[in-house]
A and B are shown apart, each in its own frame.
Chain A
Amino acid sequence: MTLSRDMIVLGLETSCDETAAAIVRRRADGTGELLANQILSQMDHAAYGGVVPELAARAHVTHLDALITAALSEAKLDFTDLDGIAATAGPGLIGGVLVGLMTAKGLAFAHGLPLIGVNHLEGHALTARLTDEAPFPYLLLLVSGGHCQLLIVEGVGRYERLGATIDDAVGEAFDKTAKMMGLGYPGGPAVEKAAASGNADRFALPRPLTGREGCDFSFSGLKTAVRKALLDLEEVGPQDKADLAASFQKAVGDILARQTGKALEMAGARLGPAPRLVVAGGVAANRYLRTRLEALCQERGAQLIVPPPKLCTDNGAMIAWAGAERLALGLSDPLDLAARARWPLTDLAAS
């Protein structure tokens, strides 16, 4: 079933340390419009050098309903104008996911609206359709604090994974690198900033899985090498940290470009005559990595699509949009929907 009319969906995101509520309109022709985008980035985790799940969940429950009210007022809409309520149902930190999902159930129950439990990764995967009207199919490089994978996106709910990290996520490697050097949290922007004035060729860091078949990723050896390089230095000044950050970032760029290039080859004709590469997830906000992927796409004759940074990091708009895309296909969920801490995209066949 396809619903051929405009749909307005509220989306809630609470799976990590961003509390977010957003509203999108999906027009009958498949194009979209962001009507409201409210987001609260929790700052309480910085001192811990990483997200503390219980603290995150506590902040979500305190702030979420005010963000929903603010989103409605930003869009100049009322609850009765909504066609559906979407919330991240996983994967993520379960305590936080439950806050968003239960709030969504309360909203949906109140007005008899459809509930759409959105896979957080599908939110990232479909964002480029909201921001850039990207048609299916495309190759997706999903790079965030919790994920690093390459998928062919054939349609809503239709994903084929070509490769994924076998250990750390790429954003996790950034966070750990930043933490070791005391650069601050979150690590992505901190490393990028330090790297800007560093010599990327000073430290010889490994590129794990080089020469291996397939397009999986590994970052744990790289992280260990950063740690060793740091401990081997006799004295550590700001320039040393800048050089190490730049060397690390270059290694990540090499790894991402190499494996994404292999994935483009593996996908081959399935991406059509004008292949598209969509990059999503918080790490997509890194300008250096973006430049590397731009160069790769130029070399391969592919089109690079990167949504704006505020829609690459976790946000409610991607959840609202994925909810709208599912709703347009007649897909929604019952009120006894369970949250899932683990939920691979490839388990997500649209029925």
Chain B
Amino acid sequence: MNILGLDTAQPACSAALLMEGGALFARFEEMTKGHAEALAPMAGAVLEEAGIAPADLDLIAVTIGPGTFTGTRVALSFARGLGAALRLPVLGLTSLEVLAEPALAREGELIAASFDARRGEIYLQLFEPDLTPASAPALAKLEGLTLPGDLSARPLCLVGTGSALLAEALEDIHALRASGAPSLPQAAAAARLAKAHVARAGLPALGAPPEPLYLREADAKLPKAGGALR
């Protein structure tokens, strides 16, 4: 099975091809803008390097957020277009599970994958060392942050750009350390997670493409009386 992984949810852009035999071709670049320009050429480059055509793909794995609103939609729109045109299933993965994938946690630790959401908040999701989710992805206020009861005594293994903020908020409560894994999502990790997903649950259904996971409402205030003066 050939899996194309795509990510533009955070300040990085990446594409990776995980092939049937396990060969991996990947491109990754940190960037705060320019994802929409960089993504398709990166996808083209990994396929070309592997010597396969888009029609040889079996599955597309894409991050659905949380991340920047616009960035999240860049890879997701591309993936949905690609999936529709090739009649391929598209598997959506949270950017937090993709962040957690390369983190090597010790027994008893929780992987805390986070993304700086600004405004004193982070996007946070917790995982067991085998990547089983221990919490749902959530937008969390840093001030007064605590983890749910049964997780409150666990040491943490931190990954993601929210790590420093999370460490500051929780260091008096939890033993914690940096995971050493990359702090931005990697499409290669998305492809590996997708492979594991298929082994566990089979291919996702066709024609049911993933939706973005924003976790934060759009900034829009309803005007009083619809803005009417009289």
A-side residues, CB < 8 A to B, are 47-49, 52, 54-55, 57-58, 61-62, 64-65, 68-69, 79, 94-95, 98-107, 109-112, 179-182, 184-185, 227, 230-231, 233, 236, 335-339
Contacts and interface: CB of A to CB of B under 8 A. Distances in A.
A98 B73 CA distance: 8
A95 B81 contact: no
Contacts of A104: 81
A65 B76 CA distance: 11
A55 B220 CA distance: 8
Interface on chain B toward A: helix, strand, loop, or mixed SS?
Answer: helix
A335 B47 CA distance: 15
Contact of A180 (B37, B212, B227): B227
Nearest to B211: A62
A54 B77 contact: no
Nearest to A241: B230
B209 interface: yes
Given A57-B73, A230-B229, A335-B44, A102 B78 contact: yes
A275 to B, nearest CB: 41
B85 interface: yes
Nearest to A87: B81
17 contacts: A49-B223, A49-B227, A55-B220, A57-B73, A61-B73, A79-B85, A99-B73, A101-B36, A102-B77, A105-B40, A109-B82, A179-B227, A181-B229, A182-B229, A231-B229, A231-B230, A335-B44
Contacts of A236: 230
Given A65-B209, A102-B81, A52 B227 contact: no
Given A106-B77, A231-B230, 13 more contacts: A47-B226, A52-B220, A54-B219, A98-B70, A98-B77, A106-B79, A107-B85, A109-B54, A110-B85, A112-B54, A180-B228, A182-B228, A233-B230
Which 5 interchain pairs have the tightest Cβ spacing? A106-B81, A182-B228, A110-B85, A54-B218, A102-B77
Contacts of A106: 40, 77-85
A109 B43 contact: yes
A65 B81 contact: yes
Contacts of B38: 336
Interface string B176-218: 0000000000000000000000000000000001011010001
Given A68-B84, A102-B81, A103-B77, A336 B41 contact: yes
A94 B221 CA distance: 20
Interface residues of B, number: 43
A305 B27 CA distance: 51
A181 B219 contact: no
B189 to A, nearest CB: 21
Contacts of A47: 222, 226
Interface in B37-78: 37-41, 43-44, 54-55, 69-70, 73-78
A101 B40 CA distance: 11
Contacts of B79: 106
Contacts of A49: 223, 226-227
A334 to B, nearest CB: 8
Nearest to A82: B85
Nearest to B226: A49
Interface string B19-47: 00000000000000010111111011000
B136 interface: no
B86 interface: yes
Nearest to B79: A106
Contacts of A109: 40, 43-44, 54, 78, 81-82
Given A55-B220, A62-B211, A107 B77 contact: no
A69 B84 contact: yes
B39 A54 contact: no
| Most A C-beta atoms less than 10 A away, residue of B43, B82, B222 | B82
Contacts of B36: 98, 101-102, 338-339
B82 A110 contact: yes
Contact of B37 (A107, A179, A181, A336): A336
Contact of A110 (B74, B86, B223): B86
